[in-house]
Chain A
Amino acid sequence: MVDTIEIRLSGFGGQGLIMASVVLARAASMYESKHVVQKDDKYKREESGLYVVQTQTYGSGVRGGASRAEVKISKKSINYPEITTPDVLVLMSEEAFQKYGSETKPSTLVLIDPDTVAGRPEGDYCEIPATVTANELGNKIVANMVMLGAVTAMTKVVHPDSLKSAMKDLLPSETLELNFKALEEGYDLGKSCGFEIKTDWG
């Protein structure tokens, strides 16, 4: 059981990893308190809900450049905003694997997209064919949501309904059906992996 979970998503610009991190962070921050005791005073909601910080870095080149997004979710208030060793590491490019593949601890869940990463880490990992699955659904652009679905299945860090609420806020309405489908496919892929992290609130 962990009281804080640190999630790193890394790949290249254009894969939508920053968007995936914003969907996750927004879901945890704004929609998750519905699933715990709701208090009348809105300032008390902080106590019942989750604290969330999302950070991101990207190269000046944007599309094709290295991209990294991080989400820290906790029952306690978060001071230091960055991640040192992630609890969940998503790798969606070879460059990301080379850079972050070894920054793990024994308990880190490593999720790899086999179509975009050639190398494999020494420890345990799980292959999530996000790009292939997204292509089968009709557009590889939703590979980010396949990955997000898998992360959610393995961590129960947010309820899938919270993710869908956040997606409605952030994504164009005509793309929602496809994105929801990608999320659900990813959720099933994540479940079949057999790894999980238990959080205080999951």
Chain B
Amino acid sequence: MPEEEVFLQGNEAVVEGALRAGCRFYAGYPICPSTGILETMVMRLPEVGGTVIQMEDEISSIAAVIGAAWGGAKAMTATSGPGFSLMQENLGYAVITETPCVIVDAQRSGPSTGQPTLPSHGDIMQARWGTHGSHSIIALAPSNVQECYDLTIEAFNLSEKYRTPVVLLSDGELAHMRERIVLKDLPIVNREEFPKGPVTFPLGEELGGVSPFPTFGRGHRTHVTGLTHTIVGYPSESIEVQTKLLTRLIGKISDNRKDICKYEVHNPKAEHLIVAYGIPARSAMELVTERADIGLFQPLTIWPFPSKAFRRAAEGKKSVLVVEMNEGHIFREVERHACRAGVEEIELCSKLGGGIPAPEEMLDCISAMEGE
């Protein structure tokens, strides 16, 4: 496909990324600031032969997406704050049924209704642990409109490769922001289809933890269930079966960090390191371009956390400052890895209230650290 230069809103860039990735089904319920994704999908998806459904709520939206994925489509939904809470149960259903799908959360300031349309990063831990039970999840966080496009494609690619739901954590600021971007011709990954012919059930363990996908209606006898199931899909109460299943589901993500995790490091030799993702990473870049003593570690993949890469970046640093638009969701993750890397000073620079941290506010946090 030819590359094109366009001027788009973050929400629109997510849609363009989804279409390039091959998304042909979208179900959603309007909620600001994610509504622009639904609106743009309504206009764009039918043009490429896809289907858009406005469902009665967010629970049914993600349910429709899971169904469409089993029907063979690349499928997506998008929501904000309260809607993401409603999706949590079915997010777990997608995890245990190993359904490839993408869920976009344009985060807004909460809890509950909170500040509709104002940005926050209060759902970072909800993306990780919002659904019940032991599991792994993949979550990505863009910081500009170009990354909204790039990481939506990446979200689809990872969901197809690992047969898992992937969460894209945008926010109210990014959703409504416009920038010029390039609609790049990026590589597209498609799920491996279960082979035709006599039904055999290869063990996930033998295939790096990921089994081929037995699409509905293509002659496979398949049982899709949220119950703990054996490799042939039948429910089981066995401790051994559950242990094997969870070990494989968690392992297929946690053991593949090297392939899954994307991050950026700026000013690697600086003595102070800022850790920031999403919009705050842009504020941090203002400082990084002006001061040689400040570096930046920006995880594009939030979950699984790029722990090895971060430890390498943190080694020998005088201090690590974690800047987040919440009360410190990845702070503890960073803290334990920074501790292991031998960093003594690790602080949180927290911005609540529905705004984004200005570079000056980060400098204040750095001064406060130095003053102690």
Contacts and interface: CB of A to CB of B under 8 A. Distances in A.
Interface in A7-33: 22, 25-26, 29-30
Contacts of A54: 177-179
Interface SS of A by simple majority:
mixed
Interface stretch (B81-89, B278-286, B317-325): B278-286
Given A60-B117, A80-B359, A29 B180 contact: yes
Contacts of A81: 173, 177, 279, 282, 356
Contact of A80 (B5, B7, B117, B358): B358
A63 B282 CA distance: 32
Residue in B5, B7, B182, B358 whose Cβ sees the most chain A Cβ within 10 Å? B7
B282 A80 contact: yes
A60 B31 CA distance: 11
B341 interface: no
A26 B7 contact: yes
A112 B117 CA distance: 27
B117 A79 contact: no
A99 B75 CA distance: 43
Contacts, number: 59
Nearest to B356: A82
B180 A52 contact: yes
Contacts of B3: 42
A79 B279 contact: no
Contacts of B118: 57
Interface string B249-288: 0000000000000000000000000000001001101100
B116 interface: yes
Contact of A84 (B32, B285, B358): B358
Interface residues of A, number: 22
Interface string B168-203: 000001001111101000000000000000000000
Nearest to B172: A57
Contacts of A42: 3, 5, 182
Contact of B286 (A53, A56, A80): A80
A93 B358 CA distance: 27
Contacts of A52: 7, 178-180
Interface string B104-148: 000000000000111000000000000000000000000000000
A104 interface: no
Contacts of A30: 5, 7, 180
A26 B286 CA distance: 24
Contacts of A53: 177-179
Contacts of A25: 7, 178
Nearest to A42: B5
A125 interface: no
* Chain A to chain B: the 3 pairs with minimum beta-carbon distance, closest first: A79-B285, A54-B178, A29-B180
Interface of B: 3, 5, 7, 32, 116-118, 173, 176-180, 182, 279, 282-283, 285-286, 289, 356, 358-359
Given A25-B7, A25-B178, 17 more contacts: A29-B178, A29-B179, A30-B5, A42-B3, A52-B179, A54-B179, A55-B178, A57-B118, A57-B176, A58-B117, A60-B32, A60-B116, A60-B117, A79-B285, A80-B283, A80-B285, A84-B358
